[in-house]
Amino acid sequence: MSMTCIHDLKPNRVVSTIEGTVARCYPLSMKFAKNRWIAFREIVLEDDSGWVTVKVWGPSAIDVIRGQTIRLKNVYCFTTDERLCLTLSIHSRLKICAQA
């Protein structure tokens, strides 16, 4: 399994695996999607090569806190306001590797 670092991210692609530390968590909110309210939070993920904003949906948005090491699988990379961003989809997975 090859791990992608933040420096190597490119827009409009699915990232198979990326790992980093949660540097910042923005406040939890709720968004209406697929005819229901879903928990939503933006976080900043960092590794040795840089940082990227990640949009986290569902129960994972509630569980993730600053200082945790997390691994993301099958996340989508895109650009918004001329910066890279990752988002979890229905087929993505977020695994908490170390507790803060």
Q: Note the pLDDT tens digit of each residue in 44-97.
A: 999 999 999 999 999 999 999 999 999 999 999 999 888 999 999 888 999 999
List pLDDT tens digits, range 12-32: 999 999 999 999 999 999 999
Position 45 scores a pLDDT of 97
Query: Which amino acid makes up residue 15?
Result: V
Residue 1 in domain: no
Q: What is the pTM of this model?
A: 0.90
Angle at 58 between CA 31 and CA 94, to 5 degrees: 135
Q: Is residue 76 part of a domain?
A: yes
Element (DSSP H or E) covering residue 70: strand 69-80
Whether residue 86 contacts residue 57, with contact meaning beta carbons closer than 8 Å, is answered with: no
Residue 71: inside a domain? yes
Domain membership of residue 22 as a residue range: 6-98
Please tell me the number of Cα atoms within 13 Å of 62 on its side-chain side: 5
DSSP lists the bridge partners of residue 52 as 45
d(CA 5, CA 15): 10
